Chain A
Amino acid sequence: AQSVTQLGSHVSVSEGALVLLRCNYSSSVPPYLFWYVQYPNQGLQLLLKYTSAATLVKGINGFEAEFKKSETSFHLTKPSAHMSDAAEYFCAVSGNTNAGKSTFGDGTMLTVKP
Chain B
Amino acid sequence: NAGVTQTPKFRILKIGQSMTLQCTQDMNHNYMYWYRQDPGMGLKLIYYSVGAGITDKGEVPNGYNVSRSTTEDFPLRLELAAPSQTSVYFCASSYAQTGQSGNTIYFGEGSWLTVV
A residues contacting B by CB (< 8 A) are 9, 32, 34, 36, 41-46, 49, 51-52, 90, 92, 94-102, 104-107
B residues contacting A by CB (< 8 A) are 4, 31, 33, 35, 40-43, 45, 48, 50, 56, 58, 90, 92, 94, 96, 99-110
Which of A34, A52, A104 contacts B104, CB < 8 Å?
A34
List 17 A-B pairs, Cβ < 8 Å: A34-B105, A36-B105, A44-B43, A44-B90, A44-B105, A46-B106, A49-B104, A52-B102, A94-B103, A96-B99, A96-B102, A98-B101, A99-B50, A99-B56, A100-B101, A101-B48, A105-B42
The A/B interface has a contact count, at CB < 8 Å, of 68
Q: A101 to B33, Cβ gap below 8 A?
A: yes
Which of B42, B94, B102, B108 contacts A107, CB < 8 Å?
B42
Q: B42 to A106, Cβ gap below 8 A?
A: yes
Given contacts A96-B100, A106-B40, contact A101 B110 (CB under 8 A): no
State the majority secondary structure of interface residues on A. loop
Beyond A43-B108, A107-B40, list 6 extra A-B contacts (CB 8 Å). A44-B92, A45-B107, A46-B106, A92-B105, A99-B48, A100-B103
| Chain B positions within 8 Å of A97 at CB level | 101
